[in-house]
Structure formats: C-alpha cells, structure tokens
Amino acid sequence: MTRNRAPSKSTCFVLSELCKEPQYGYALMKATDLKSGTLYPILMRLTDRGFLTASWEEPQSQGRPPRQSYQLTPKGRAYAEEALTINNGSTKKLRGVQV
C-alpha cells in the first residue's frame, strides 16, 4: 500500500534549498530554520525514496571529520519541482522560492 500525499511544508523548505545546490545537514538546518529532529527524518525519508543522494566529503580544515552532503537526484529534482509548484503560494511567501 502506498500513499500519495502532498509533501509537508517542512519537506518543501528542504527541497527548495536543495534545488539551489547540494548542502550539508547543519547548513540545511540554518537555511530552513528546521531543527535537527525534524530535518533528519525528512532527509532519511527523501533518501529512502531515491530523491536524494548522501555522499561523504572530505573536510575543508584539518582535524574535522568527513561530512555528509545531500544532493537531489534527477528523480528528486522532478519531485521537488512538482512539490514546489503545488505549494508555490505558501512556500514562495515564506522562502522567496520560484519554480
């Protein structure tokens, strides 16, 4: 059984940020104003559905651990565009996102 439900506003925020460029988790938190407890479940779900890829990247400064960067897949980009079109009114108002 699969439910096709419109993505939540929080998911739209994440998608809209990822449409711009690949992002790290903390950067996404700051950009979307979402807390880690909300952001990570969304990222996990999007990755599970094949909309995101998570890749480990070497740190820019020494002594820091590698970080995971999140990037939309082509399927994810199509999904994001569709989702943001549906939610355009509210999302645009809050985030200034245009699709």
Partner 1 sequence: MNISPQIWFLWTAKIIPHERTDWLAAMRAELEQIATPSDRSAFAFGCFKAALLESAQSRKGLSFIARGGMASLIFAGSIAVWLLWHAKMYAQPEALAISKVILPICLAYMCGAALLLTSLIGLKLYAAMGFCLATLSATYCLFARPIYMDLSSGFLTALSFKVAGIMAGLLFFGVFLSWLYNPDIHDA
93 binds partner 1 (CB under 8 A): no
Q: What is the CA radius of gyration of the chain?
A: 14
Q: Which CB atom, from 65 or from 89, has the smaller least distance to partner 1? A: 65
Q: Beta-carbon neighbour count of residue 67 at 10 Å?
A: 15
Q: Which CB atom, from 56 or from 96, has the smaller least distance to partner 1? A: 56
Q: Which CB atom, from 20 or from 66, has the smaller least distance to partner 1? A: 66
Listing DSSP states for 36-69 in one string gives HHHHHHHHHHHHHTTSEEEEEE--SSTTPPPEEE
> Site residues for partner 1, window 33-92 (CB under 8 A)?
35-46, 48-49, 51, 54, 64-68
97 binds partner 1 (CB under 8 A): no
Q: Please give the backbone phi and psi of residue 50, each rounded to the nearest 5 degrees, phi first.
A: 80, 20
Q: Beta-carbon neighbour count of residue 8 at 10 Å?
A: 13
Contact positions vs partner 1 (CB under 8 A): 1-5, 7-8, 11, 24-26, 29, 35-46, 48-49, 51, 54, 64-68
